[in-house]
């Protein structure tokens, strides 16, 4: 039987953490670290496995590692002994990397990315005395916490920016691997654009790869070449190629923009200054805070931990004021409040987007 539970925590970024117990998880158990005991400072060990984008992807994996590093530093843990990461060059590396960390007796092990869900489930069953956390997916297991975000809400806001900033009334979206997760970015973005600029057209393409800068460059070249002046990417390392193409075009006098994802990617657009804004997804806060809970003996075992716009778990980057007009940011704030109040619901799926469009004038 499903239960609902809310955990309130004074998070470092001022977030409120809401959790929903998974169907077969946890019931009244408050969760624990390995062997049912809370960690004690340096006795607690935490690690993560990256997806194929790598720890320096300037996006999702990097943000997760930044949160883990902060946790380690705050608790005087030694890198590689008290906290560490293993990098995955290919998907076949996921399971052996997770198994290695479990054998090394890390109390909490993160799998970064929805593509690791199946492997997390298998390894969690093999190592029931270890705790695991999956980011961006839900794994129904008693020793796994599932960390999710309402990416469609933050994507809606950067869509508002794009819709009010475009001068060609044509914008683009580049996704990594087409999936339910990346569809949340796509549909939220499209809804934000159309809410403020119903005359706009949106070019959507998927690279089917999170780690190919070359594909990102090629797709972006086609989009910019066909009239899109703003591209929002949700493509991990593939998005690096989008920035490369935009910067090359900016050097040649074209006025094109990129909207970053997951972390503030303003610096990725320098020195040509092509980052319009970024949809910030606080994966760093998630890894930091869930690690704290585990060390304190309050690991949300079997639960789904969701971060939303209301929690400031998603949003737009503070550097947006560098390139986004003040009146546009005012409109973003208006929509942000409407989403928080429930007056506007950002669509996460294709069907929800179609329903949303029925009310767009």
**Residue in 333, 312, 282 with CA at minimum distance from that of residue 64:** 282
Single pTM value for the model = 0.84
Give the integer Cα–Cα distance in Å for 259 and 269: 10
Give the integer Cα–Cα distance in Å for 127 and 142: 11
Report CA-CA distances (Å) from 293 to 17, 102, 133, 141: 11, 19, 12, 18
Least confident of 112-116, 141-145, 204-208: 112-116
Give the integer Cα–Cα distance in Å for 109 and 131: 6
CB atoms within 10 A of CB 27: 11
Report CA-CA distances (Å) from 350 to 200, 249, 275, 355: 18, 32, 27, 9
Q: Residue 271: is the preceding peptide bond cis (ω within 30°)?
A: yes
pLDDT in tens, 266-296: 999 999 999 999 999 999 999 999 999 999 9
Q: What share of the chain is helix, strand, coil (3-state, %, to 5)?
A: 45, 20, 40
Q: Candidates 3.30.9.10, 3.40.50.2300, 3.40.50.2000, 3.40.50.2020; correct CATH number of 4-149+283-307?
A: 3.40.50.2300
pLDDT band at 11 (very low <50, low <70, confident <90, very high): very low
**Phi, psi of 8, rounded to the nearest 5 degrees:** -100, 130
Model confidence at 137: pLDDT above 60: yes
Query: Residue 40: its pLDDT value, please?
Result: 44
pLDDT band at 53 (very low <50, low <70, confident <90, very high): confident
Give the integer Cα–Cα distance in Å for 57 and 38: 32
- Range 175-204 average pLDDT: 97
- Range 47-74 average pLDDT: 92
Give the integer Cα–Cα distance in Å for 308 and 310: 5
- Range 64-82 average pLDDT: 96
pLDDT band at 127 (very low <50, low <70, confident <90, very high): very high
The string over 284-322, giving b where at least 16 C-beta atoms fall within 10 Å of a residue's C-beta and e elsewhere, is bbbbbbbbbbbbeebbbbbbbbbbbbbbbbbbbbebbee
Block residue for tokens 């600029």: 197
Block residue for tokens 């270890």: 130
Q: Which residue has the higher pLDDT, 51 or 25?
A: 51
Query: Residue 361: its pLDDT value, please?
Result: 74
Give the integer Cα–Cα distance in Å for 131 and 36: 10
**Residue in 264, 262, 292, 288 with CA at minimum distance from that of residue 276:** 264
Model confidence at 164: pLDDT above 50: yes
Q: Which residue has the higher pLDDT, 203 or 41?
A: 203
Query: Residue 42: its pLDDT value, please?
Result: 55
Model confidence at 357: pLDDT above 60: yes
% of the chain exceeding 90 in pLDDT:
83
pLDDT band at 59 (very low <50, low <70, confident <90, very high): confident
| Residue 49 β-bridge partners | 86, 111
Residues 6+ away with beta carbon under 8 Å from 288? 12, 67, 68, 70, 71
Query: Residue 78: its pLDDT value, please?
Result: 95
**Residue in 222, 218, 221, 323 with CA at minimum distance from that of residue 269:** 323
- CATH C-level class of 151-281+325-357: alpha beta
Return mean pLDDT, the chain: 89
In angstroms and rounded to an integer, the radius of gyration of the C-alpha atoms of the chain is: 20
Q: Where are the domains of the chain?
A: 4-149+283-307, 151-281+325-357
Residues 6+ away with beta carbon under 8 Å from 308? 18, 149, 150, 153, 314
Model confidence at 10: pLDDT above 70: no
Block residue for tokens 């320098």: 270
Query: Residue 41: its pLDDT value, please?
Result: 47
Model confidence at 2: pLDDT above 90: no
pLDDT in tens, 322-354: 999 999 999 999 999 999 999 999 999 999 999
Give the integer Cα–Cα distance in Å for 122 and 347: 32
pLDDT band at 8 (very low <50, low <70, confident <90, very high): very low
Query: Residue 252: its pLDDT value, please?
Result: 96
**The two three-digit tokens of residue 308, written as one number:** 């939303």
- Range 183-205 average pLDDT: 98
User: Do the domains at 4-149+283-307 and 151-281+325-357 have one common CATH topology?
Assistant: yes
pLDDT in tens, 225-255: 999 999 999 998 899 999 999 999 999 999 9
Give the integer Cα–Cα distance in Å for 6 and 70: 25
- Range 108-135 average pLDDT: 97
pLDDT band at 6 (very low <50, low <70, confident <90, very high): very low
């Amino acid at each position: 039987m499903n239960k609902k539970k809310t955990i309130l925590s004074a998070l470092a970024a001022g977030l409120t953490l809401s959790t929903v117990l998974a169907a077969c998880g946890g019931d009244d158990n408050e969760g624990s670290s390995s062997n049912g005991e809370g960690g004690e400072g340096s006795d607690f060990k935490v690690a993560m496995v990256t997806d194929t984008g790598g720890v320096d992807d300037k996006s999702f994996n990097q943000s997760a590692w930044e949160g883990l590093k902060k946790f380690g530093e705050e608790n005087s843990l030694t890198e590689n002994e008290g906290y560490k990461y293993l990098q995955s060059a290919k998907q076949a590396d996921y399971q052996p990397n997770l198994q290695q960390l479990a054998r090394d007796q890390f109390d909490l092990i993160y799998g970064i990315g929805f593509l690791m869900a199946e492997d997390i489930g298998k390894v969690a069953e093999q190592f029931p005395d270890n705790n695991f956390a999956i980011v961006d997916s839900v794994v129904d297991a008693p020793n796994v916490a599932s960390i999710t975000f309402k990416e469609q809400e933050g994507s809606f806001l950067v869509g508002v920016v794009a819709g009010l900033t475009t001068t060609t009334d044509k914008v683009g979206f580049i996704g990594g691997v087409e999936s339910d997760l990346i569809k949340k970015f796509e549909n939220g973005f499209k809804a934000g654009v159309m809410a403020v600029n119903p005359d706009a057209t949106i070019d959507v393409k998927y690279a089917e790869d999170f780690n190919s800068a070359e594909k990102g460059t090629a797709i972006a070249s086609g989009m910019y070449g066909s009239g899109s002046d703003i591209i929002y990417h949700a493509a991990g390392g593939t998005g690096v190629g989008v920035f490369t193409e935009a910067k090359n075009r900016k050097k040649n006098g074209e006025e094109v923009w990129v909207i970053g994802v997951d972390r503030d990617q303003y610096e990725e657009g320098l020195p040509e200054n092509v980052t319009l804004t970024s949809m910030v997804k606080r994966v760093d806060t998630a890894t930091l805070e869930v690690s704290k809970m585990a060390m304190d003996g309050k690991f949300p075992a079997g639960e789904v931990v969701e971060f939303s716009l209301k929690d400031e778990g998603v949003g737009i980057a503070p550097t947006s004021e560098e390139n986004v007009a003040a009146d546009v940011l005012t409109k973003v704030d208006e929509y942000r409040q409407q989403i928080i109040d429930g007056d506007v619901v950002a669509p996460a799926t294709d069907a929800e987007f179609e329903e949303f469009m029925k009310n767009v004038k």
